Chains A and B, each alone.
Chain A
Amino acid sequence: MNFGNRRYIITAIILAFAFIFALRLLTLQVVSDSYKAKAAELTEEKIRIYPSRGLVYDRNGELLVANRAIYDLMVVPRKTKAFDTLAFGELVNMTVDELRVELKKARKYSRHKASVIKKQIDPDIYARISEKLHRYPGFFAQARTVRSYQKGLGAHVLGDYAEAGPSEIEKDHYYRSGDYIGKSGIEMTYEKELRGKKGAKYVLVDVRNNVQESLSEGKYDTSAVAGKDLYITIDAELQAYAELLMSNKMGSIVAIEPATGEILTLVSAPSFDPNLLVGSNRGENFRKLQVDSLKPLYNRATQGLYRPGSIFKMVQSLVALQRGSITKDTRIACNRGIIGCHGSHSFDDLEGAIIHSCNPYFHQVFKRMIEPGETTNRFKDSQIGIGRWNSDIKKFGFGSNLGSDIPGIKEGNVPNQKYYDRIYGELGWAFSTIYSMSIGEGELLINPLQMANLAAIIANRGWYHAPHVIKSIGDEGKPERFLEKMNTGVNEEYFTTVVNAMEKVVAQDGGTARRARIEGITVCGKTGTVQNEPYPDHSVFIAFAPKDNPKIAISVYVEYSVFGGTWAAPIASLLIEKYLNDSISDPTKEERIIEQSFGMPKKK
């Protein structure tokens, strides 16, 4: 029998397998990209070069925020050899169990890429570890930059700089796990300027993750660009003094330079040393601050919403004058039937009403604005009135974040028709429903930054710059938007009456803010006492000085301290004096303030 034909069957089998190989090669090498990606992932490594973060200086060039090194202990699981976990744990201050958990996590992430075993080891502890680390192959320390706060002040303004969370990494792919990011304050607002730009070096690594050579002779490498330094508007000395005066009290202080809108001081009390949130104790300290019943992490100056109380009477006066609802000579009887009052006066003009803080006067002023008499139906009339009033008030920046560069500002509430319709139903309300707003009570809510800005508006007689903390980014100056003037639409002449009245509030012998008097400086101010049932009242004071060509406008809010004139006014005056004269003429006044403490009160 001849089996010669079988040659062709055998040939066919061989060719069939060769064809399968050819197809397989085609899919592996040309059709599919995943193998190329896999090979690149294995052999190419991007080594990131971190630039130094910009430093922060105050308005006088004093260094506020510097950088310092801190170390993360890393491991490359493939490179480790069997080691004494007990001794190693002791060295790096971890229990054997903790160590085991972290090593397992690291192995799960990658066997040949580095993972963090222990974060944020302080340099002095690192010095001890580094001597012995060479005994443990596969472990090494990676230096990271954290912040060092030179003066330990301004925690709320400067903000937090910490490890980026998953959502931040998701939002901006610039960040990798373990990178740091500004979380609040100027660290957040000016994150892009401060961080600079990471550089990258692409290298080829071998299977043991040892760098072998640069990829394509460094064609894709980029160098790091250092972050820009920030010069901020805060006056470190004034800030420190303000924090001192607010010790053991709750509340806030905001001081603004009226001509520029630059924030000189911003205090939220109680405060904390920002250095607490840096380094290995961050977690523990953060938790402590978080559970503190006085909420030190909360920025009262920009997020605390309060009813403004009597300081709002100036705003009512100004918009009423501009609308023509009153003139400076309008006199109104102090009829204490509807709304209470204090002190002896009976038939004040506008100036007198501000000096005496006459409640019935402003009740009447507000009524003239809310019920302008456009229609006989007082409900419909109130709708028209509140619309006009709302737009007038908003020009003072109330109900907005003022365009500031401080992140997370709570805008507050300036009620409009919609707001009341929702509560009372359409045409279910009129002036008589909402009259308590006439004296800054009721539904009106504003924050201390807006109060200080009000002082700046009055100091400027009608306009303001968005209050801001940036003085210069590197040497580029500040962003354009802070140079723009915002106008309230109230004529300068109307401010004269209000300013004169504020002068007398401080200067007159019966004035509510006589404790704000400073020898040789004309201070204009207005006190407020904000009802706070069932707790004691809050005390508030806004002021600016000097009267002509003002240099500083300020708001002081002291929670639960009852009369604005007793506590808030002297604090403001001390700060004004400190800023303008650089010295304090009356040390007893200072002592009295520092020693006083207002904790969380009991119900009345």
Chain B
Amino acid sequence: MNTNRGDIRRNLDWLTIFLYGFLVLLGWTAIYSAGYDAAHTGIFDMEAEHAKQLVWIGICTLLAVVILNIEGEFFIRFSPISYLLSLLLLIAVLFIGKKIGGARSWFGVGAFSIQPSEFAKTATALFLAWYVTRTGIKFNALSTRLIAAIILAIPAGLILLQPDAGTVLVFSGFVLALYREGLSGNILLAGFGAVVLAVVAILSGAAIIDYPFYGEQSGIWTMMIVMLLFGILGVFFVRSFVLPRKRKRVFRILAFSLVGALAFSYTTYVGIEQILQPHQRERIYVLFGMEVSNPDADYNIRHAKAAIGSGGWFGKGYLNGPMTRYDFVPEQNTDFIFCTIGEEWGLFGSLIVVAMFVVLILRLIHLAERQRSQFSRVYGYSVASILFMHMLINIGMVLGVAPVIGIPLPFFSYGGSSLMGFTILLFIMIRLDAERYSVFR
């Protein structure tokens, strides 16, 4: 593995680097606009967030250069250590972290704050790739899958304790990478089924139905009774139409999915109605267009949609969006940064941003597929999946098609941890890809 610098530069995927640069710079212009004040236009006014972000961009550029100069082998060997390190940080943050917005997700270091979960994503991706590609590991063995699940579950569980539901959801993206490695396609079906069940459970759980003998109770019971009836119907169906020798197997699948579905629906119901904070519950109700008691429950999303919707075909022009400039949109330079694009650049600009993300993600899949090293492939898919989940949740949220869950839009949102996390995540892949001809595995 003696790769000289010349080779690396020649083999770098400049398209990915260009997309990264484009998104980061466009993100910076959006941050500048969101905080724009006609009286203070100085780019280097260190009070302003756009100036701080500029510093972060500089740091990340250096970081990218450093990463590109580290041999890929280092990242592979470093994987277990980085994973353990990030677990330690995730545990530590629960005890000594700063509480911001009800969650303990940040370390406060002087004027700066660092969010360990941003780095945990990279570490988990590295360690997962390291584990499933170890010599002697058979991916289709149940134990391998269980351990892979545990590798994902530990950081996800720690992050859930902060609590930061958005980042936890991002972790479900790893399923796509594992699916590529041979996880049964049923996992995708199960995922789809879970989304459908969750929606039905939320809707029926919030409904109040007048039951005979029991009076007014939640509609979740109706849903569960209906599912049971379908199960019984299924039994008769199997008896009449399935060959006897196959019956046992079909019964098992039927029983397994029925119990799973019942348990999942009920857990969702309890989770929404009893575990979630009232404001979180209302955000979910708002998403489904249900009545909520607090008139401001949908304040964020109402204003976000108004900002994007007012953009029209080509937007109101750069620095000319009153919804974002005059603070109508909350968190306008972090989680709701996409609103600035929507308002100022219209459908045209919004579609370009969405397209850039899609091209970047598809490019990463392409890079992953051309690797000879399985490690690089798993890692590549993980990077693509993480970016995809972020885009899905963040843009879905501001468009009002996903619940309001605060996670940043990669490369766009203001914040050093997030930009650094994504830079490291992406540039490790670029470095691994640049070495693709030197790997003999």
What residues of chain A have their CB less than 8 Å away from a CB belonging to chain B? 1, 3-4, 6-7, 9-11, 13-15, 17-18, 20-22, 24-26, 28-30, 32, 34-36, 38-40, 42-44, 204-208, 212-213
User: A6 touching B180 by the CB < 8 A rule?
Assistant: yes
Q: How many Å lie between the Cα of A21 and that of B351 in the bound state?
A: 9
Given A1-B140, A35-B308, A204-B322, 9 new contacts (CB under 8 A): A9-B185, A9-B188, A28-B309, A29-B313, A29-B350, A39-B323, A40-B310, A205-B326, A206-B326
Contact of A30 with B312 in the complex, beta carbons under 8 Å: yes
Complex contacts, A36 vs chain B, CB 8 Å: 309-310, 312
Residues of chain B contacted by A11 (CB below 8 angstroms): 362, 365
Q: Are A42 and B306 in contact (CB under 8 A)?
A: yes
Report Cα–Cα, A204/B38, bound state, in Å. 14
Q: Which residues of B contact A4 (CB under 8 A)?
A: 369
Q: Mark B327-361, 1 if CB is under 8 A from A, else 0.
A: 11000000000000011001100110011011001
Interface string of B48-66 (1 = CB under 8 A from A): 0000000000000000000
B401's partner among A1, A24, A30 (CB-CB below 8 A) is: A24
Report yes or no: B327 in contact with A21, Cβ–Cβ below 8 A.
no
Asked if B8 is at the interface of the complex by the 8 Å CB criterion, the answer is no
Are A212 and B326 within 8 A (Cβ)? yes
Q: List 23 A-B contacts (CB under 8 A).
A: A1-B182, A3-B182, A6-B180, A9-B188, A10-B180, A13-B188, A14-B362, A15-B358, A20-B401, A24-B399, A24-B401, A26-B347, A28-B308, A29-B308, A29-B346, A30-B312, A30-B347, A32-B309, A35-B309, A38-B305, A39-B309, A39-B323, A42-B306
Inter-chain contact A42/B347, CB cutoff 8 Å? no
Binds A, one of B96-104, B160-168, B388-396: B388-396
Q: Which residues in A have their C-beta under 8 angstroms from that of B361?
A: 14
* Closest residue of A by beta carbon distance from B296: A111
| B313 A30 Cβ-Cβ under 8 A | yes
* CB closest residue in chain B, given A41: B306
Q: How far is the CB of A216 from chain B (nearest CB, A)?
A: 10
Which residues of chain B come closer than 8 Å to A44, judged between CB atoms? Answer: 322
Determine how close the nearest CB of chain A comes to the CB of B19; give it in whole angstroms: 15
Contact of A43 among B323, B365, B369 (CB under 8 A): B323
- Are A204 and B326 in contact, CB atoms less than 8 angstroms apart? yes
A46 to chain B, nearest CB (A): 15
Q: Is the CB of A25 within 8 A of B180?
A: no
Q: In the complex, A38→B307 CA distance in Å? A: 9
Closest to B37 in A: A212
In the complex, what residues of B have CB within 8 A of residue A42's CB?
303, 306, 323, 328
B211 to chain A, nearest CB (A): 35
Min CB–CB distance A205 → chain B (angstroms): 7
The reply on B302 being an interface residue by CB < 8 A is yes
Partner of A39, one of B307, B381, B388, B392: B307
B118 at the interface (CB under 8 A from A): no
**Smallest CB separation, A14 vs chain B (Å):** 6
B263-297 CB contacts (< 8 Å) to partner A: none
B134 to chain A, nearest CB (A): 18
B181 at the A/B interface (Cβ < 8 Å)? yes
Q: Does B251 contact A (CB under 8 A)?
A: no
Residue on A with the closest CB to B350?
A: A25
- CB contacts (< 8 Å) of B181 on chain A: these are 3
B227 at the interface (CB under 8 A from A): no
Contacts of A3 on B, CB cut-off 8 Å? 180-182
The reply to whether the CB of B311 lies closer than 8 angstroms to some CB of chain A is yes
Query: Judging by beta carbons under 8 Å apart, are A25 and B310 in contact?
Result: no
Residue in A22, A38, A43 whose CB lies within 8 Å of B302: A38
Query: Are A207 and B328 in contact (CB-based, < 8 A)?
Result: yes
A18 to B391, CA, bound (A): 9
Does any Cβ of A come within 8 Å of B236's Cβ? Answer: no
* B358 neighbours in A (Cβ, 8 Å): 14-15, 18
Q: Is B176 an interface residue (CB 8 A)?
A: yes
Q: How far is the CB of A17 from chain B (nearest CB, A)?
A: 6
User: With A and B bound together, what is the CA distance between A39 and B305 in angstroms?
Assistant: 9
- Complex alpha-carbon distance, A175 and B128, angstroms: 69
Most buried by A among B308, B343, B357: B308
A1 to B182, CA, bound (A): 8
Contact A25 B388 (CB under 8 A): no
Q: Are A207 and B310 in contact (CB under 8 A)?
A: no
Q: Flag if B388 contacts A14 (CB, 8 Å).
A: yes
With beta carbons under 8 angstroms apart, the residue of A7, A22, A43 that contacts B354 is A22
> Which of A22, A30, A39 is most buried by chain B, counting CB atoms within 10 A of its CB?
A39
Q: Check A7–B347 contact: CB distance below 8 A.
A: no
> CA–CA, A18 to B399, complex, Å?
12
Q: In the complex, A503 Cα to B147 Cα: how many Å? A: 125
Whether A7 pairs with B392 at a CB distance below 8 angstroms is no
State how many angstroms separate the Cβ of A467 from the closest Cβ of chain B. Answer: 57
Instruction: For residue A403, give the distance in angstroms from its CB to the closest CB of chain B.
Output: 53
**Measured between alpha carbons, how far is A14 from B343 in the docked complex, in Å?**
25
> In the assembly, what is the distance between CA of A28 and CA of B312, in Å?
8
Q: How far is the CA of A6 from the CA of B381 in the complex (A)?
A: 12
Residues of B137-188 whose CB lies within 8 A of A: 140, 176, 179-182, 185, 188
Cα distance A485–B399 when bound, in Å?
72
Q: Give the shortest distance, in Å, between A215 (CB) and chain B (any CB).
A: 9
**Complex: how many Å from CA A36 to CA B400?**
16
Kindly list chain B residues whose C-beta atoms are within 8 Å of the C-beta of A26.
Answer: 347
> Whose C-beta in chain B lies nearest to the C-beta of A38?
B306
Q: Is the CB of A25 within 8 A of B347?
A: yes
**List of A residues within 8 angstroms of B308 by Cβ:** 25, 28-29, 35
**Given A3-B181, A7-B180, A42-B303, A29–B309 Cβ distance below 8 Å?**
yes
Q: Are B326 and A34 in contact (CB under 8 A)?
A: no
B229-276 residues at the A interface, CB under 8 angstroms: none
Question: Contact at B322–A25, with CB atoms within 8 Å?
Answer: no
Contacts of B342 in A (CB 8 A): 25, 28-29
* Contacting pair A10 B306 (CB below 8 A): no
Could you say which residues of chain B place their CB within 8 Å of the CB of A13? 176, 188
A213–B326 Cα distance when bound, in Å, is 11
Instruction: State in angstroms the CA–CA spacing of A122 and B365 once bound together.
Output: 75
In the complex, what residues of B have CB within 8 A of residue A6's CB?
Answer: 179-180
Distance between Cα atoms of A28 and B350 in the complex (Å): 11
Q: Mark B177-203, 1 if CB is under 8 A from A, else 0.
A: 001111001001000000000000000
Give Cα A341–Cα B185 distance, bound, in whole angstroms: 117
- CA of A443 to CA of B56 in the docked complex: distance in angstroms? 96
CA gap between A169 and B188 in the complex, in Å:
59
Q: Which of A34, A40, A206 contacts B327 (CB 8 A)?
A: A206
Bound-state CA distance A52–B287 (Å) is: 49
The closest CB in chain A to the CB of B395 belongs to A21
Rounded to whole angstroms, the CA-CA distance of A206 and B365 in the bound complex is 43
Chain B residues in 8 Å Cβ range of A18: 354-355, 357-358
Those 4 A-B pairs whose CB atoms lie nearest each other, nearest first: A35-B309, A206-B326, A39-B310, A43-B322
Chain A residues positioned under 8 Å from B328 (CB to CB): 39, 42-43, 206-207
Contacts of B396 in A (CB 8 A): 21
User: How far does the alpha carbon of A32 sit from the alpha carbon of B365 in the complex, in Å?
Assistant: 35
Q: How far is the CA of A35 from the CA of B311 in the complex (A)?
A: 9
B327 touches A207 (CB 8 A): yes
Also in contact, A29 and B347, with CB within 8 A (given A36-B309, A40-B310, A204-B326): yes
A212 shortest CB reach to chain B, Å: 6
Give every chain B residue within 8 A of A35 (Cβ-Cβ): 305-306, 308-310
Q: Are B354 and A21 in contact (CB under 8 A)?
A: yes
By a CB distance below 8 angstroms, the chain A residues around B326 are 43, 204-207, 212
Q: What's the minimum C-beta distance from B125 to chain A, rounded to whole angstroms? A: 16
* List of B residues within 8 angstroms of A38 by Cβ: 302, 305-306, 309-310
Within 8 Å CB of B351, what residues of A?
22, 25
For residue B362, which residues in chain A have a CB less than 8 angstroms away from its CB?
11, 14
B403 CB, min distance to chain A CBs, angstroms: 15
Nearest-CB residue, chain B, relative to A107: B295
Q: How far is the CA of A587 from the CA of B241 in the complex (A)?
A: 121
Report chain A residues within 8 Å CB of B307. Answer: 39
Question: A29 — which chain B residues lie within 8 A by C-beta?
Answer: 308-309, 311-313, 342, 346-347, 350
Chain B: minimal CB distance from A213 (Å): 8
